[in-house]
Amino acid sequence: MNTVAPPAPALRRPVRTLDVGVQDLAGVGNAIEDIYAGTLDVLVVRGALDATMLAATGERLDADAGGLAWSRPNIKMPVEDVQLLGTDTPATPTFNAPRGATLDDYLASAAAHAGEAAAVFAPGYDAGAAIRQAIARHAGGRAVELAQAADGRSYAPYTIRRLADGRQIGLHHDFHYRLDLYRELAPQLDTGTLVSFVATLRAPRDGGELFVYGATSDDAAVPRLANGFSFDLAAVEAGYDCARLQLGAGDLFLLAAGRCLHRVGRVGGPPSRITMGGFLALDRARQRVLFWS
């Protein structure tokens, strides 16, 4: 009697992570290209930025949170009520604007709030320059430049994000090039993926971890909930590899956010989870790195 062997289980795609100290960057000087190539999904650099400076800033932001002009683009979904400084129109979909903002609205917001995030740091500390320098360490010798619109207006260089007690960021990916606000920027870029950069100012007492999954944005089989839009977290966690990363003040990560599904765990605090970050990509010719938030 002939028998048919059961199908072999699908191989789980591993999450390709690298966790290094800022003193040990010899092997990650071209990490952005490695992320594009798919040989690396997440790079964590411990102590990439001034931990003392960022921690002090995060403590002040938490203490003065009620007196600051945070924008709250996800207020319609209270558990994901992220607070932002540096824009009220982020370069992503939000619960207030599921298809994202228009390019004009985004640029107007970046101009109107240009000094807001920079003002939270101690005099003499240039957070934008620190971020540019940190990115450049992994750019393979390429120039690192803030994205600009055709009319000369600058995109926001970074935003500060606060997740207070009980808040989280749900499972998602960040392949946003089809949004209207990318209509000028996307044609300039290698859109093979989108990389997020995030530096921690303040870590919560509990939770707030970065979870990255082997489930990718081009995998049609990634399980979704009955609404057809949201991913099924329980099924993804059961069926895909996962990396769980804890970040402290001064730590930076670069993540293949356009490729790998990821989320931020629910914060248990006080203190809050406070970070600053945005996105970056290689330009189409792969000669420069452009960044924005």
Supply the CATH number for residue 150's domain: 2.60.120.620
Torsion of CA 94, 97, 102, 108, to 10 degrees: -70
Is residue 197 in some structural domain? yes
pLDDT of residue 1 exceeding 70? no
- Provide the domain limits for residue 284: 17-268+278-292
Where does 39-117 have alpha helices with state H? Answer: 51-63, 103-112
Reported residue count of the chain is 293
pLDDT digits (tens, 9 = 90+) for 14-44: 999 999 999 999 999 999 999 999 999 999 9
Tell me what percent of the residues of the chain surpass a pLDDT of 70. Answer: 96
Is the alpha carbon torsion for 182, 255, 263, 225 positive or negative?
positive
In this prediction, residues 121-147 reach a mean pLDDT of 97
Domain-embedded: residue 156: yes
In a domain, 140, yes or no: yes
Kindly report, residue by residue over 184-231, the tens digit of the pLDDT.
999 999 999 999 999 999 999 999 999 999 999 999 999 999 987 899
Q: What per-residue confidence (pLDDT) applies to 8?
A: 40
Domain count, the chain: 1
Structure pTM? Answer: 0.94
Per residue in 227-277, pLDDT tens? 878 999 999 999 999 999 999 999 999 999 999 999 999 999 899 999 999
Query: What CA–CA distance (Å, rounded) separates 207 from 108?
Result: 34
| 58 or 8: which leads in pLDDT | 58
User: What confidence score (pLDDT) does residue 3 get?
Assistant: 52
pLDDT at 4: 53
Domain presence at residue 74: yes
Q: How many CA atoms lie within 13 A of 220 on its CB side?
A: 0
Q: How confident is the model at residue 285 (pLDDT cuts 50, 70, 90)?
A: very high
Q: Does 4 map to a domain? A: no
In a domain? residue 9: no
- 124 has a pLDDT exceeding 50: yes
Whether residue 263 lies inside any domain: the answer is yes
DSSP string, 193-230: --EEEEEEEE--SB---EEEEEEETT-TTS-B-TTSSS
Residues 6+ apart with CB under 8 A from 111: 153, 154
pLDDT computed for residue 155 by the predictor: 98
Q: Is residue 12 part of a domain?
A: no
